Structure 1
Amino acid sequence: MTGGLFLTLCTLLLVQAVSSCPKECGCDNNAKVVDCRGRGLYDIPHKLHRDTLELHLQDNHIRGIGSMAFRETPYLRVLDLANNSITMVSPSALLGLRSLNTLILANNTIRELDRRLLGSIRNLTHLDLSHNNIVGLPGALADSFHHLTHFSLHYNRLTKLDRTHLEALGNLQVLHLASNPWKCDCNMIGLKLWLETFTFKGGVVDAVPCHEPYAMRNRDLRSVPYELFHSCMSTSYNYLFANIQHMERQQRLLRGVPYPSLDAPVEQEPECEAKPKPRPINLRHAIATVIITGIVCGVVCLMMLAAAVYGCAYAAVMAKYQRELKKREEEAGRMEKENSENKEGAKELRENAIA
């Protein structure tokens, strides 16, 4: 009798454990999905099943995510926290989520992300940080997201973005950067070069409209001519070195040779409005540069040839004119001498006749 009660109790506890689901959420035990959308939640729900693969918490009132907030769901693959009021995310909030591949934090009020937060999730393929107040990205981004394919940063407060944040994202396919107050100065040359290479390889970028300076406002960074970046003479060699380093890194990655970490300190370029000369990074710009240079050189050569021909012709005409002028002067002198001699002869004849 006692054994039967004990067995029944154990069975009930097992069933409850298997089918555990927060009372404020809906659960699909077969798909292992927990749906807590629009439930007026202020905190992450508890009593989540350990095998949960997807957790949807969008459209609530969650203000912060504490340390180890998802320790009950270590196998989580999709975490959607969009459209909440999140301002703070603990550096260890996502610790333990080794299988997480989709993280959506869109439509919150996040200003910055701790590098330790991103360092704990290294298998992400989709990261949505759009519609926040982010002003900069941590340096650990490149080291953490080697598998990232979709990255959304539109509608934030980014004014610049170092291309070292993006260079190591070798699997990136789609990047959203629109609706940020981009300051298109010399610090953005690296991003412009990276974007040109990325789109040339088939990557998708929505837009990078400049907000400053005023002369470039609303122009996409990729379409701004290099000639407009004219003020950073002192940084030309820095950019040339950076471009050479970028090309060397690409070659090393293609050959499978490791390259030094991007976390190494990099000298910061001074605030100004760009370098004077472009350094094309892709084949199309290189070919265009060669063609334009050839045309300009050809025109200059033709002008020099025309000037030489004109000079030779002018010199020949002047020489001929001088010869004819000298010849006429000699003839005029000879005729004047002959007239003088004739006059003297006539005078002598008259004098002899009178005598």
Structure 2
Amino acid sequence: MMGPVLAACLLIILSTAWISQANGATCKKDGGVCTCNDNTKSVDCSSKGLTVIPSNIPTDTDNLKLDYNKLSSLPSKAFHHLSKLTYLSLSTNQLQTLPPGVFDHLVALGTLYLNNNQLQRLPEGVFDNLAKLTRLELNINQLRSVPNGAFDYLSNIKTLWLNDNPWDCSCNDILYLAKWLATNLERHAGANCDQSSKAVLDVTEEEAAEDCVYPNTTTAIPTTIITTLASSNDDDIPELPVPQENFQKFLGYQEPDHLPTQPQCLMSISGYLGLMMSLVLTSAAILYVIHFLKKA
């Protein structure tokens, strides 16, 4: 009886290992979804419908394309093992924000495309370690301002695209960007105020005098309203609508640091092949056991 049992176990183990290898692969030659070039150290994962970054991207990758996908968020350590990257494209995705430190390990990065996303804000110091960056594209997003010092460490930047964002020139948060643009005229492609065609670099302190309060922050709820609600009867409390897309943020929800780092199996032919192989091998093992028992 040990013969068929051992055979079945061996077949199941082999099929499981095959599926794991296929799903963990990145390059097409290994059953993954991306096109890899060993000579140029480039990995092209463009236009794959990806919702997560593929796992096992080679650590010596120099050029990584993740544009034209469906990435809505990034793990904070998504690129920490890719310190040799000089080119990274994340354009034309669905990114709304970036986790702090997501680029701090990319010390060799020269080109970064973040254009054509839905970025509403940038974290403090997100570009601080990118001293070799020469091209940064942030155009076609939903940015109203940038944090103080956002571009201070970009000493080699030559091209910075900021157009087609709803820059809020009535808010004092815009003053850092206005001053940076005014003193770096040769290094950027302009940005205009959302309220008018006025260039951001021309905004004065008198024009940008308002405190910055945006709907997605808890400071948008006046203290007087909170006090009134706390002292009212339940029947008198008005219903305050909270947009569904902001509900988790309203409750203090934060994205986890670690998201899945491998592509969903349905995004790759390897997923189908792995499942089919598993079923075939398992079926073969079962038939072998039944045949052996009938003879016994």
TM-score (norm 2): 0.57
Are the structure 2 counterparts of residues 84 and 190 from structure 1 closer, same or farther at C-alpha, using a change threshold of 3 Å?
same
Given the alignment, which residue of 114, 117, 125 partners 1:132?
117
Kindly indicate whether residue 206 of structure 2 is the aligned counterpart of residue 229 of structure 1.
yes
Q: In structure 1, what is the Cα distance between the partners aligned to 2:156 and 2:35?
A: 35
Q: Tell me by how many angstroms 1:27 deviates.
A: 5.1
Equivalence map 1:129-208=2 (5 Å): 129-185=114-170, 186-199=172-185, 202-203=186-187, 205-208=188-191
Once superposed, what is the RMSD of the aligned Cα atoms? 2.5
Partner of 2:76: 91
Of 203, 208, 211, which aligns to 1:270? 211
Report the Cα offset of residue 116 of structure 1.
2.9
Q: How many percent of aligned residue pairs carry the same amino acid?
A: 22
**Alpha carbons of structure 1 residues 26 and 85: separation in structure 2 relative to 1, 3 Å:** closer
> Which of the two has higher C-alpha Rg?
1
Whether 1:116 aligns to 2:101 is: yes
Shift of 1:65: 2.2
**For 1:65 and 1:222, how far apart are their aligned partners in 2?**
36
Other structure's SS at 2:173 match: helix
Pairing of 1:64-75 with structure 2 (within 5 A): 64-65=52-53, 69-70=55-56, 72-75=57-60
Structure 2 gaps, min length 5: 1-26, 214-296
| Equivalent of 2:42 in 37, 43, 54 | 54
SS state at 1:191 partner? helix
CA gap of 1:54–1:27, structure 2 versus 1, over 3 A, is closer
Q: Could you tell me which amino acid in structure 2 is paired with residue 184 of structure 1? A: C
Match of 2:197 in 1: 218
Partner of 1:211, secondary structure, is: coil
For 1:135 and 1:119, the matched residues in 2 are separated by 20
* Aligned mates of 1:192, 1:219 — CA distance in 2: 11
**1:296-315 paired onto structure 2 within 5 Å:** none
TM-score of the superposed pair, with normalisation by structure 1: 0.48
More helix by share: 1
Aligned CA distance change for structure 1 residues 219 and 97 (closer, same or farther; 3 Å): same
Asked if the contact 1:65–1:88 (Cα under 8 Å) also holds between the matched residues in 2, the reply is no
Q: Does 1:22 align with 2:30?
A: yes
Match of 2:65 in 1: 80
Using the TM superposition, give the Cα deviation of residue 271 of structure 1 relative to its aligned residue in structure 2, in angstroms: 3.4
Deviation sequence 1:68-106 (CA, Å, 0-9, x none): x34x51111110001011112211221211101111000
**What are structure 1's unaligned runs of at least 5 residues?**
1-18, 33-52, 233-268, 273-355
Look up the equivalent residue of 1:220 and give its one-letter code: A
Q: Deviations over 1:310-333 (max 9, x none)?
A: xxxxxxxxxxxxxxxxxxxxxxxx
Deviation at 1:162, TM superposition (A): 2.9
CA distance in 1, matches of 2:208, 2:161: 29
